[in-house]
Amino acid sequence: MSALPAPGSQESAPPPRRFWESGPASWNRTLTSRRVMIPFFLVALAVPLVLQWVEDNSSWIGAQYWTLILATCAMYACLAVALNLVVGYAGLLNLGFIAFFGIGSYAYALVASDQIHQRYPLWAALLVVIAVTLAFALLVGVPALRLRGDYLAIVTLGFGLIMRDLILDLDRPPVLAGHQFGPDTLNITGGTNGIHQVQPFSLPTSLPLLGPVPHYRMYYWIFVGFLALCIYCMLRWRNTRTGRAWVAIRDDELAARAMGVNTFKYRLLAFSLSAVMAGIVGMINAAQIFNAFPSPNFDVQTTVMVFIMVILGGLGSIPGAILGAIAFTVPPFLLQQFVFYKYLVISLVLIAVMIYRPEGLLGTVSIRPRQTMGGTLELITAEAAIEASELPPVTDAEPSDLEEATGAIVEDPEWKQP
Amino acid sequence: METTLNQRPVSLQIRGLTRRFGGLTAVDRFDVDVNEGEIVSLVGPNGAGKTTVFNLISGVLRPTGGSIMLQGQELVGRPAHRITHFGVARTFQNIRVFPQLTVRENVLLGTHHWTRSGVLGSVTFWPGTIRAERAAQAEVENAIALFRERLEPRLEDPAFALSYANRRRTEIARALAARPKLLLLDEPAAGMNPYERIEMAGLIRSMRDRGLTIFLIEHHMPLVMEISDRVIVMDHGVKIAEGLPKEVRTNPRVVEAYLGRRAASA
């Protein structure tokens, strides 16, 4: 290249020096670096020991209570990170996400209780949970991932509701067209009662140096450990070929395809991996509370809760997901006397976030309706939103041409004329 | 393999390519041969169907009929992501870089189809994955070499923060990282200032000198006349002229397509 004058001199502004001025992308990079993540998890692991020490040396009681709250918090953080994979990285609105959490906990409960008289060792139960959630993810994903945006959201929402009804109704043999399948005594899921007396993981009850470890503390550590594992995987994926392909599909599917990314394969991969993560969290939860219930496991409300955590923290941001999980699990316990106003406060906070920071606290992507495709809701970057708003609406297009429209009209402005 | 007068083997051979949108025939029995190591320009008035031809070659749209052969292999009927494997890379008229990825990650996306690494490999630091990532990073250096002063300081910045011209350069670098045999450039100099346009002309030539075959759409005629080995003119989906730049410029049908019948007869 010849020595030309550099016209882009205004581009090379000096990078802001202060952390809080450097913007969400840089915040995420700093907060997910090794020198922040490793101390964070070490502190998180030590917290119940500190609580215990305070309880032993003062009149305060509540080490167990607060460890349980923090375990719930860690569980929601795991779910938020798993949801971040499918929504934040790959840009798929999966509203049936929480069903996989439920499927995981029921799969574990079935092979670790007297419900069908199976008590598998931990490793075998883990394989069963992974296999079952993966099977359900493929069952839904293979047909549904051919859809985009809010169409996918509706199908996955339907899946979540069907799974809930299935769990509630499988305490008796299914009857289809007047024919009963199985004997009268068949009871797989226990209906509204759920499955009781699920065995916890067979883990040592005391550790060297730490002495006896109570159940609640052990499961707190398991949740934090699994959270660390999930985050490690997510960060590795984001920095290698697979994660780049996911974000590329989210940013611009057509360009990703033109660069040789098999978009269907990668969407399915993100969908199934996030389902398996949620399934394992469900399994740990079932072992922690000795039960598998239909109510929190399959409620649409729980899905919404996890979505709120991810959106508040910022789609695609892992520190944001942890922040969101903390923000929505700890305050309700601190403010017990205001519990009636819980949802009022949550909605006010969300409205404020949507007005002042639609991409979330640490996020760079936001959910906005896309004007061009008849108001289809999809994950859209700020840049793409501007570009889309400049294109003419194609709502009056022939339905049969809609598929064409994405390729021909959005892609090829020459074809606006006819 | 077919050869032409100048004895260069044919890279891209299109025969009878047709695409209809409802009642409108966007591309009508279009034939073209692009030889290896050649720069061929596709020009024509707005709405002539040039971008549609590119969309058909790269598999974004499916042709209604006809055949597209790249070095003797049929591309029609293959999905877009498979066509990349055969050695076709493209850029887009309205630039399509991935805005949330950094420039480096954008270019790394180009290496996606020829590297192998999976979800398990990356979390276990599997040697194959490490090798694949190293090869991809080396290819980024290779692809970015053409844009050294322009893109190197911006490598770690997200693509949405780039200037228009730098987004174009990123998109071209991404296409180069895919190690293509045939590069489709859709209006590479659109919206650039004269300095940048001259730079782009030199760039296209140096890519050809690296052994690439280049098929480009461009509206800026002086640029087309300067760099092209051959020019093909399209109007209303039909090829109306083909030949050396100076032959095409004086062809009455071309003048008619651009300026109307009266100007052509004057």
CB atoms B160 and A381 under 8 Å: yes
CA A80 distance to own-chain centroid: 4
- DSSP assignment, residue A348? H
For residues A281 and B155, the answer to whether their CB atoms sit within 8 Å is no
Residue A331 covered by a domain = yes
Query: Does residue B70 or residue A12 have the better pLDDT?
Result: B70
State the smallest CA–CA distance between residue A383 and chain B in angstroms.
7
Residue A367 has what pLDDT?
57
Helices (H), A84-121: 97-110
For residues B43 and B228, the answer to whether their CB atoms sit within 8 Å is no
Residue A241 has what pLDDT?
94
Which CA distances in Å does B241 have to B31, B46, B222, B231, B257? 11, 16, 18, 8, 10
Predicted confidence (pLDDT) at residue A124 exceeds the cutoff of 80: yes
- In whole angstroms, what is the distance from residue A206 CA to residue A218 CA? 10
What percent of chain B is modeled with pLDDT above 90?
A: 62
Residue A282 covered by a domain = yes
| Helix A318-334 and helix A24-31, axial crossing angle in degrees, nearest 10 | 80
Could you tell me the pLDDT band of residue A187, with boundaries at 50, 70 and 90? Answer: confident
Beta bridge partners of A207: A211
Could you tell me the pLDDT band of residue B249, with boundaries at 50, 70 and 90? Answer: confident
- A-to-B residue pairs, Cβ atoms closer than 8 angstroms: 173
CB contact residues (below 8 A), chain B span 59-118, against chain A: 59-61, 79-82, 84-85, 89-90, 92-94, 96-101, 105, 108-113, 115, 117-118
Residue A347 has what pLDDT?
85
Q: A65-100: string of b/e by CB count within 10 Å (b at 16+)?
A: ebbbbbbbbbbbbbbbbbbbbbbbbbbbbbbbbbbb
If we measure between CA atoms, which residue out of B19, B2, B20 comes closest to residue B11? B2
Chain A residue with CA closest to B192: the answer is: A7
CB contact residues (below 8 A), chain B span 179-208, against chain A: 193, 195-196, 199, 202
Predicted confidence (pLDDT) at residue A416 exceeds the cutoff of 50: no
* DSSP string of A21-68, one letter each residue: GS-HHHHHHHHTSHHHHHHHHHHHHHHHHHHHHHHHTSS---HHHHHH
Chain B residue with CA closest to A249: the answer is: B98
Which CA distances in Å does A275 have to A78, A104, A271? 12, 9, 6
Q: Which of A201-215, A266-280, A326-340, B150-164 has the highest mean pLDDT?
A: A266-280
Query: Does residue A294 or residue A149 have the better pLDDT?
Result: A294
Could you tell me the pLDDT band of residue B3, with boundaries at 50, 70 and 90? Answer: very low
Could you tell me the pLDDT band of residue A276, with boundaries at 50, 70 and 90? Answer: very high
CB atoms A261 and B81 under 8 Å: yes
Residue A274 has what pLDDT?
97
- Cα distance from N-terminal residue to C-terminal residue, chain B: 44
Predicted confidence (pLDDT) at residue A405 exceeds the cutoff of 50: no
- Strand pairing category for B230-235 and B39-43: parallel
- In whole angstroms, what is the distance from residue B175 CA to residue B207 CA? 11
Residue A345 covered by a domain = no
Residue A24 covered by a domain = no
- Strand pairing category for A365-369 and A377-381: antiparallel
- In whole angstroms, what is the distance from residue B30 CA to residue A53 CA? 81
Could you tell me the pLDDT band of residue B135, with boundaries at 50, 70 and 90? Answer: very high
Could you tell me the pLDDT band of residue B171, with boundaries at 50, 70 and 90? Answer: very high
Plot region of A273 (φ>0 → left; ψ -120 to 50 → alpha; else → beta):
alpha
- Cα distance from N-terminal residue to C-terminal residue, chain A: 43
Helices (H), B111-213: 119-123, 127-144, 148-151, 164-177, 194-209
Could you tell me the pLDDT band of residue B6, with boundaries at 50, 70 and 90? Answer: low
User: What is the amino acid identity at position A174?
Assistant: P
- In whole angstroms, what is the distance from residue A84 CA to residue A323 CA? 13
Query: Does residue B251 or residue A12 have the better pLDDT?
Result: B251
- In whole angstroms, what is the distance from residue A305 CA to residue B43 CA? 55
Residue A401 has what pLDDT?
44
Q: A318-337: string of b/e by CB count within 10 Å (b at 16+)?
A: bbbbbbbbbbbbeeeeeeee
CB atoms A408 and B21 under 8 Å: yes
- In whole angstroms, what is the distance from residue B244 CA to residue B231 CA? 6
Query: Does residue A406 or residue B125 have the better pLDDT?
Result: B125
Residue with tokens 């100007």: B263
For residues B15 and B31, the answer to whether their CB atoms sit within 8 Å is yes
Q: For the segment B21-80, what is each residue's pLDDT rounded down to a tens digit?
A: 888 889 999 999 999 999 999 998 888 889 999 999 999 889 999 999 999 899 998 999
Helices (H), A292-317: 294-298, 300-313
Residue A286 covered by a domain = yes
* DSSP string of A174-225, one letter each residue: -EETTEE-S-TT--SS-GGG-B--PPPP---SEETTTEE--HHHHHHHHHHH
Measured between beta carbons, which residues in chain B are less than 8 angstroms from residue A414? 46-52
Residue A150 has what pLDDT?
83
When divided into structural domains, chain A yields a total of 1
Residue A123 covered by a domain = yes
Predicted confidence (pLDDT) at residue A376 exceeds the cutoff of 50: no
CB atoms B193 and A251 under 8 Å: no
The range of the structural domain enclosing residue A77 comes to: 60-174+185-340
Predicted confidence (pLDDT) at residue B148 exceeds the cutoff of 60: yes
Domains and CATH numbers, chain B: 1-87+180-266 (3.40.50.300), 103-177 (no CATH)
Residue A366 has what pLDDT?
62
Handedness of CA A162, A168, A171, A175 (dihedral sign): negative
Q: How much is the CA Rg of chain A, to the nearest whole Å?
A: 24
For residues B21 and A408, the answer to whether their CB atoms sit within 8 Å is yes
CA torsion angle B161 B165 B166 B167 (round to 10): 70
For residues A225 and A218, the answer to whether their CB atoms sit within 8 Å is no
Residue A163 has what pLDDT?
92
| Helix B127-144 and helix A241-251, axial crossing angle in degrees, nearest 10 | 50
Predicted confidence (pLDDT) at residue B255 exceeds the cutoff of 70: yes
Residue A47 covered by a domain = no
Which CA distances in Å does B68 have to B72, B93, B176, B230, B242? 9, 21, 22, 19, 18
Predicted confidence (pLDDT) at residue A41 exceeds the cutoff of 50: yes
Rounded mean pLDDT of A383-409? Answer: 44
Plot region of A115 (φ>0 → left; ψ -120 to 50 → alpha; else → beta):
alpha
Plot region of B12 (φ>0 → left; ψ -120 to 50 → alpha; else → beta):
beta
